[in-house]
């Protein structure tokens, strides 16, 4: 395995200074047609691209080496040593000012993938920076070259603005080279297709810039866009380089549409730069947007795979139902509830698996979920008979799926509560339910606790009778005193509903008096019971209970937890849990404590 070395900042800054000097020298040597400023200037775009990738406190190295490049270029190929002290700061001012303004408005980086980011980039890097530096540069050129001020100011602003717009995006990608490694992962078919599209770009460019009878500069844009869509940023940059190089060489030979235009050589040079800059602003944002879409698609696929794995590992069935009632997704647990594998359930109507007498109740819950996005709606219903011919009870917790404020369907979890329903019906028959909350009352709870304590210890060392949690609402009397007993009843009912939501089919939730509840976690280890009880405590704290007039009440609970030992005494276990509860109260409430 080869280890890829990353150049140090000193090395990168030095190389940038060398390239800056070479580009600046070429501009002054070949594009300074009338003794004034150069008609081509891309050096500032190189420095700007580097500055926007770095925090401000690390700008000194690029500025140092590019400053040395400026000094050598001005002294040897430009206006001479005398102009170095005046012109060097002006040349560096342009990219520094543009980088600072872009960072202040858009943050670090070059944000040209959006219309807003592109407009700010063109305005600040292509107009404001060149205009501010041009005000000083025009005066310097007048003093050292005896050239007209306004003409050179105009040429400076146009040449430097076009150079920044043309060079900065390409150089910025070069300073973020992680995309280059993607070429090695291209399939052979991708490499062949991208190469073919670039050859089409080259052939089209040669045809357009070789002939000089028709102004068809627009013609290369189509294959450039196609190459960008197919090959991404690499193809976009290659397309710009191909078109730019072809256009520059053939235009310098007197061919191509640019030479059909009237004007001097310098003006034609500016026009060619403007055309190439437009191609950059066309294809690079497209490439950036496509890259973002690819990243989003990859994350979506990963998220979907993770979601399916989690959903299939749960005991509850997870479903996704469209607004018209069609099942779009069902986890593997649905097979045990419907007798059909999940792939056969998908595409069916959800009503097909609901007992007809309960269909209106489920439909009303579905309607409530769609009308109140963000709120979970719990509904119990009987399903269609499965292999054993028994009609079983299910509980669904459903919530609306929304996009831009519009409900698109619901997602929900379904669990089999047939055992719990049997117990509830038995309790109802024997008047063992709390009339306010619908939970088991104190008598039913004590009988259930005594049954578990009286059970013969299993031969298996891992078998457990379960755990007991006593839950007491904190400062409940204040709620009654401040808001009245109806509000207190609403709080008790909301807490009861939340507790039932966390309860498994073989657990028991009871209200044993006032604001005190008990939960028997059947067969649960202390670790599992502690996790479940603490989640319940957090869920109660997150409740927002409406009491009318747009008012809501919040409440917290303290919990004591003790293990149910087979053969132990129910009063002793209850006392241990109660002691842990008061320990939680004594330590500040809204706490969970485990009995010693």
Q: Which residue would you say has higher pLDDT here, 187 or 590?
A: 590
φ, ψ of residue 211 to 5 degrees: the values are -75, 155
DSSP 326: B
Whole-number percent of the chain with pLDDT over 90: 26
Alpha-carbon distance 288 to 180, whole Å? Answer: 14
The per-residue pLDDT for range 434-475, each reduced to its tens digit, is 888 888 899 889 988 988 888 755 544 455 678 999 999 999
Predicted local confidence at residue 1, as pLDDT: 40
Question: Where do runs of H (alpha helix) occur along 6-148?
Answer: 9-30, 43-51, 60-76, 84-106, 115-123, 129-145
Residue indicated by tokens 């599209």: 197
The structure's pTM equals 0.50
The per-residue pLDDT for range 54-87, each reduced to its tens digit, is 999 999 999 999 999 999 998 988 888 999 999 9
Predicted local confidence at residue 461, as pLDDT: 47
CA 263 distance to own-chain centroid: 51
Band the pLDDT of 47: cuts 50, 70, 90: very high
Q: What is the 3-state secondary structure (H, E, C) of 170-184?
A: HHHHHCCHHHHHHHH
Q: Are 505 and 415 in contact (CB under 8 A)?
A: yes
Q: Are 66 and 185 in contact (CB under 8 A)?
A: no
Q: Are 259 and 231 in contact (CB under 8 A)?
A: no
DSSP string for residues in 410-429: EEEEEEE-HHHHHHHHHHHH
Residue 289 has pLDDT above 50, yes or no: yes
Q: Are 117 and 108 in contact (CB under 8 A)?
A: no
Residue 355 has pLDDT above 90, yes or no: no
Q: Which residue would you say has higher pLDDT here, 275 or 581?
A: 581
CA distances from 371 to 323, 414, 548 (A): 12, 20, 19
Alpha-carbon distance 266 to 33, whole Å? Answer: 6
- Per residue in 219-230, is it b (16+ CB within 10 Å) or e — as a string? ebbebbbebbee
Alpha-carbon distance 35 to 574, whole Å? Answer: 99
CA gyration radius, the chain? 37
Alpha-carbon distance 44 to 421, whole Å? Answer: 76
The per-residue pLDDT for range 318-335, each reduced to its tens digit, is 888 888 888 888 888 888
Predicted local confidence at residue 135, as pLDDT: 92
Residue 344 CB neighbour total at 10 angstroms: 13
Name residue 469's beta-bridge partners: 519, 561
Band the pLDDT of 91: cuts 50, 70, 90: very high
Alpha-carbon distance 64 to 428, whole Å? Answer: 85
Q: What distance, in Å, lies between the first and last C-alpha atoms of the chain?
A: 55
For residue 467, the surrounding DSSP H or E stretch is strand 466-473
Alpha-carbon distance 486 to 488, whole Å? Answer: 5
DSSP string for residues in 261-319: S-S-HHHHHHHHHHHHHHHHHHHHHHHHHHHHHHHHHHHHHHHHHHHHHHHHHSSSEEE
CA distances from 323 to 320, 326, 360 (A): 10, 7, 16
DSSP 6: P
Lowest mean pLDDT segment, chosen from 96-105, 183-192, 371-380, 479-488: 183-192
Residue 5 has pLDDT above 60, yes or no: no
Residue indicated by tokens 């219903």: 381
Alpha-carbon distance 541 to 554, whole Å? Answer: 7
Q: Are 499 and 509 in contact (CB under 8 A)?
A: yes
The per-residue pLDDT for range 104-160, each reduced to its tens digit, is 998 888 877 676 787 888 889 888 999 999 999 989 988 888 888 888 888 888 888
- Per residue in 352-365, is it b (16+ CB within 10 Å) or e — as a string? ebbbeebeeebeeb
């Amino acid at each position: 395995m080869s280890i890829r070395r990353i150049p140090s900042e000193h090395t990168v800054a030095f190389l940038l200074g060398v390239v800056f000097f070479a580009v600046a020298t070429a501009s002054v040597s070949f594009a300074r047609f009338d003794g004034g400023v150069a008609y081509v200037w891309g050096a500032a775009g190189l420095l700007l691209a580097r500055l926007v990738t770095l925090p401000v406190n690390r700008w000194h190295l690029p500025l140092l080496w590019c400053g040395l490049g400026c000094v050598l270029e001005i002294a040897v190929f430009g206006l001479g040593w005398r102009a170095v002290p005046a012109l060097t700061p002006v040349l560096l001012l342009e990219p520094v000012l543009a980088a600072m303004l872009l960072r202040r408005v858009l943050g670090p980086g070059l944000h040209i993938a959006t219309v807003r980011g592109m407009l700010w980039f063109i305005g600040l890097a292509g107009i404001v920076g060149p205009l501010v530096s041009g005000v000083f540069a025009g005066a310097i050129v007048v003093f050292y070259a005896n050239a007209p001020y306004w003409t050179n100011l105009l040429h400076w602003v146009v040449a430097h603005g076009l150079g920044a717009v043309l060079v900065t995006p390409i150089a910025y990608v070069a300073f973020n080279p992680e995309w280059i490694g993607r070429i090695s992962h291209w399939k052979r078919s991708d490499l062949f297709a991208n190469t073919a599209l670039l050859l089409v770009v080259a052939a089209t460019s040669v045809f357009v810039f070789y002939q000089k009878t028709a102004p068809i500069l627009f013609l290369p844009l189509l294959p450039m866009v196609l190459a960008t869509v197919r090959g991404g940023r690499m193809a976009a940059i290659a397309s710009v380089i191909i078109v730019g190089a072809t256009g520059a060489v053939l235009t310098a030979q007197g061919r191509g549409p640019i030479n059909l235009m009237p004007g001097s050589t310098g003006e034609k040079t500016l026009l060619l730069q403007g055309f190439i800059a437009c191609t950059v602003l066309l294809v690079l944002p497209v490439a950036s947007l496509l890259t973002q879409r690819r990243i989003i698609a990859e994350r979506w696929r990963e998220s979907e795979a993770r979601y399916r794995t989690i959903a299939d590992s749960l005991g509850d069935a997870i479903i996704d139902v469209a607004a018209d009632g069609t099942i779009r997704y069902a986890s593997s647990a649905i097979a045990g509830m419907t007798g059909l594998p999940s792939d056969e359930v998908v595409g069916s109507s959800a009503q097909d698996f609901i007992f007809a007498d309960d269909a209106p109740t489920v439909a009303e819950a579905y309607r409530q979920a769609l009308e109140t996005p963000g709120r979970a709606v719990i509904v119990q219903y009987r399903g269609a008979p499965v292999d054993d011919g028994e009609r079983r009870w299910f509980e669904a917790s459903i919530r609306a799926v929304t996009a831009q404020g519009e409900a698109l369907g619901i997602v929900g979890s379904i669990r089999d509560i047939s055992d719990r329903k049997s117990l509830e019906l038995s309790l109802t028959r024997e008047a063992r339910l709390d009339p306010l909350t619908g939970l088991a009352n104190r008598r039913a709870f004590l009988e259930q606790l005594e049954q578990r304590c009286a059970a013969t210890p299993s031969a298996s060392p891992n078998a457990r009778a379960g755990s007991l949690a006593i839950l007491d609402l904190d400062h409940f009397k204040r709620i009654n005193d401040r808001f009245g007993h109806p509000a207190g009843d609403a709080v008790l009912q909301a807490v009861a509903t939340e507790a039932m939501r966390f309860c498994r089919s073989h657990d028991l939730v009871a209200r044993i008096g006032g604001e005190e509840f008990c939960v028997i976690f059947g067969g649960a280890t202390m670790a599992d019971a502690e996790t479940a009880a603490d989640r319940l405590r957090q869920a109660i704290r997150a409740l927002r209970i409406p009491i009318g007039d747009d008012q809501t009440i919040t409440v917290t609970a303290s919990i004591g937890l003790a293990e149910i030992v087979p053969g132990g005494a129910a009063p002793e276990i209850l006392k241990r849990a109660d002691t842990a509860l008061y320990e939680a109260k004594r330590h500040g409430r809204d706490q969970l404590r485990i009995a010693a």
